[in-house]
Amino acid sequence: MQPQALQLRDIHLPDSMGWWPPAIGWWLLLILIPLCCWLIVWLYKRITRKTAVKTAKKLLIVLKQNRDLSDMDRLTQLSELIRRVAISQSPRAETASLTGQAWLNYLDSSVKGTPFSQGEGQVLADAHFQKAALTDLEMTAVTQLCETWLKTQK
């Protein structure tokens, strides 16, 4: 018996793989990486905003309880506190340059009515420059108004 020659063909190699179209994993990475970056930035902003409002509420309580301050000093610190919260809540370029009536209108935009531009909140715009001190009743009303404004911030 003679061995018969088998008619075998040589090994057939597959075509080399091209780079396009990428596999599904690359498409997922292309979508997930920017999405995760956006989520991290959004969470950071959300956490810092809440922290600014919480800190401002604590500072307002300390400010209300501090009896060593004069009414003008208390009003100055109250105004600074409100401005810091406003700057942390919205873009700095939008709020940092506001003064006078524009500042009061900005504060009115987040509360009902116009208590800052038409009511007792007017003293926040020009009380720093007046010689007459505020009465205790006016100071209490302004402090309550600022506390209400802080509660409306998100």
pLDDT in tens, 13-72: 888 888 888 999 999 999 999 999 999 999 998 888 778 888 999 999 999 898 888 888
Average pLDDT (104-119) is 89
Cβ–Cβ under 8 Å, residues 146 and 104: no
Q: Please state, rounded to an integer, the average pLDDT across all residues of the chain.
A: 88
- Give the end-to-end CA distance of the chain in Å, rounded to a whole number: 94
Q: How far apart are the C-alpha atoms of 146 and 107, rounded to whole Å? A: 9
CB atoms within 10 A of CB 87: 16
Is the whole model's pTM more than 0.85, yes or no?
A: no
Q: Sorting pLDDT into bands at 50, 70 and 90, what band is 1?
A: low
Q: How far apart are the C-alpha atoms of 146 and 152, rounded to whole Å? A: 10
Q: Look at 83-87, 96-100, 117-121, 131-135 and tell me which has the smallest mean pLDDT.
A: 131-135
Percent share of the chain, pLDDT over 90 = 32
Average pLDDT (97-126) is 88
- What pLDDT score was predicted for residue 73? 87
Q: How far apart are the C-alpha atoms of 124 and 108, rounded to whole Å? A: 12
